[in-house]
Structure 1
Amino acid sequence: MKWEHALNDFRNYLKLERGLSDNSINNYCLDVEKLILFLSAHHITVSPIAIDSEIIQQFIYETAKKVNPRSQARIISGLKSFFNYLIFEDYRKDHPLELIEAPKVGRKLPDTLSIEEVDLLINYIDLSKTEGTRNKAMLETLYSCGLRVSELTHLKLSDMFFEEGFIKVTGKGDKQRFVPISNSCIKYINIYISEVRVHQPSVKGHEDFVFLNRRGRQLTRAMIFTIIKQLVEKSGIKKTVSPHTFRHSFATHLLQNGADLRAIQQMLGHESITTTEIYMHLDKSDLSKILNQYHPRKH
């Protein structure tokens, strides 16, 4: 079995059997491609079925010199998934990474914006330009609905149920959920649609996407990252801010204001409540206040 064949089968398995998003699939396959490049660079001729743990360890040792522990752990995780697939399909019986442990890394939470910082960023949008109206509606949607950046770029006009107060979001693995949307966010989207979007010709196949670029195409993830980066520079905020920061801030502000964790889980589209709990970095003083306020043995 050739590496190219195995990698292609693995890609199809991740898409059809596990229902992963294109981004997740690409990340898994990139880990395997790094191993293939290592084999080629060292003139090691071995198939995916015959490769052993010694060669894998050589690869990981060399990789560890180039990347941080978090990236190393992700690569090991991706390779484990690949060889799990080969075993699942009976291509091989043993697992070459069975005794290899990933480096332990702490859970790194992204920076969270305060409500004032969210307002500051949005206020730096130049509304005198046509793209400014779009950008304001876009960032308000990110923050008000807690969307992933890919969910924002794939948002469609036909997904808007404003009268009911919801939007339909397609998340990881093409799983759909309904997310409530605030009246203020609806207002900004409607302004964008009625004043900018309605006058903008769209490319065939892109007519239903809400947020378009100047050429009438679906806005890309990279463009949204760039827009936010420029706003952060203008505002002078000294934090690492990405589209995901708005999602994290959405969840954190809801929790701080008393929202139920299960409700936040549903809005974020997390399958496991554990994932939602990782996002919630309540200050220990807040926990003490809750205990002292609600526990029957508080005195």
Structure 2
Amino acid sequence: MKRRKELSKEELRIIKKNISDEEAFEEFFKDCYLRNLRPATISYYKNEFHAAKKIMNKQLVECEQKNIENLILQSKQIMKVTTINTRLRALRAFFNFLDKRKLIDINPMKNVKLLRDRQKTIETLDNKEIEKLIKIIRKEKTFVSFRDEVIILVFLDTGVRLSELVGISVGDVRENKIVIRKTKNLFERTVYLSGTTQEQLSRYIKIRGELEVTNKLFISQDNRELNPHSIQTRLTKYGKLAKISKRVSPHTFRHTMAKRMIVSGVDVFSLMHLLGHTDITVTKRYVNLWGQDLEQKHKLHGALKGLKI
């Protein structure tokens, strides 16, 4: 039988040197390091790749669209939509990189979209809940409780993330402002303090004193750097003691700050900078969520109010 001039897809597959997962990961993570991605982001990619590979039980570089779709169907039985989308974002980044470098023939994520998810109500704390929280903390009268009070005030005043707060050094505090250096997107920004927070923070710094072991602003009782998990644990404890049904967490304080700023009339671009968002979409979502508050504010202070026309 006479051979065809062109090789078939199967024959091309046989002679093509296929890249292994290990080789693909090496190239991908080398690129991550060159782009100076955060260690947390790199760990996130590694964890998601390992989990996806375990579920699919095959080399990721050999995946086809149907394998990704089966992964989604299996995951829906045991995971929340947000968790599945988190994994899909990691896989998308991986396969897009391989596709761009021409290390794979077909990008299995090309036609796979993130799952639609209902927009959940974002919880925030009201005045009474914040006051109850501070009142409960002040009953303890210890270094740790005073430190925690100041931490909460900084969270509420600035909307900083937990990772950003633990990264603050004493030298980053400049009277009524704090320079946030260890940010999620690697862009430094300045956040501002109200008079109350500035006064309490100044008192805390005096009590903290100068230490040789660390220059971090917030420290443990043993004068060591503060563990982020311990902050969350203590906030949860205070929330239960204050009998607050909502989740008391750094992110709840961040949302509370955003809401209060919006209701006070801060424009979306200023809030975007204060929160350290790189995409205005997230900031605009806050505005949409609390539109009723803005509607009420407009009724009270609208430009035409008081005009006899």
Superposition TM-score, scaled by structure 1 size: 0.86
**Alignment check: 8 A CA contact 1:111 1:241 kept:** no
Matching of residues 1-16 of structure 1 within 5 Å: 1-16=19-34
C-alpha distance in structure 1 between counterparts of 2:113 and 2:78, whole Å: 18
2:178 is matched with 167
C-alpha distance in structure 2 between counterparts of 1:91 and 1:109, whole Å: 42
2:209 is matched with 198
| Percent identical residues | 23
Match of 2:290 among 279, 282, 294: 282
2:55 is matched with 38
C-alpha distance in structure 1 between counterparts of 2:294 and 2:171, whole Å: 41
Alpha-carbon distance change, 183 to 284 in structure 1, aligned in 2, over 3 angstroms = closer
Deviation at 1:269, TM superposition (A): 1.2
Are 1:148 and 2:161 an aligned pair? yes
1:49 alignment partner, SS class: helix
1:86 is matched with 98
Match of 2:225 among 218, 224, 233: 218
Amino acid at match of 2:53: I
**Alignment check: 8 A CA contact 2:263 2:293 kept:** no
Are 1:294 and 2:307 an aligned pair? no
| Alignment deviations for residues 76-95 of structure 1 (CA, whole Å, 9 cap, x no partner) | 12211111111122212321
Larger Rg: 2
Match of 2:170 among 153, 157, 167: 157
Deviation at 1:149, TM superposition (A): 0.6
Alpha-carbon distance change, 257 to 174 in structure 1, aligned in 2, over 3 angstroms = same
**Alignment check: 8 A CA contact 1:20 1:172 kept:** no
C-alpha distance in structure 2 between counterparts of 1:291 and 1:128, whole Å: 44
Match of 1:105 among 105, 117, 120: 117
Alpha-carbon distance change, 289 to 210 in structure 1, aligned in 2, over 3 angstroms = closer
Deviation at 1:243, TM superposition (A): 0.6
**Alignment check: 8 A CA contact 1:169 1:179 kept:** yes
1:68 is matched with 80
Deviation at 1:124, TM superposition (A): 1.2
| Alignment deviations for residues 243-288 of structure 1 (CA, whole Å, 9 cap, x no partner) | 1111111111111122222221111111232221112322436426
Deviation at 1:209, TM superposition (A): 0.7
Superposition TM-score, scaled by structure 2 size: 0.83
**Alignment check: 8 A CA contact 2:143 2:221 kept:** no
Deviation at 1:153, TM superposition (A): 0.6
Aligned pairs, number: 286
Amino acid at match of 2:48: D
Deviation at 1:15, TM superposition (A): 4.5
| Alignment deviations for residues 101-144 of structure 1 (CA, whole Å, 9 cap, x no partner) | 32201233431011221222122114422211211111111111
2:102 alignment partner, SS class: coil
**Alignment check: 8 A CA contact 2:218 2:226 kept:** yes
1:167 alignment partner, SS class: strand
C-alpha distance in structure 1 between counterparts of 2:38 and 2:130, whole Å: 29
2:168 alignment partner, SS class: coil
C-alpha distance in structure 2 between counterparts of 1:14 and 1:287, whole Å: 44
Q: Which runs of 5+ in 2 are unaligned?
A: 1-18
Alpha-carbon distance change, 217 to 289 in structure 1, aligned in 2, over 3 angstroms = closer
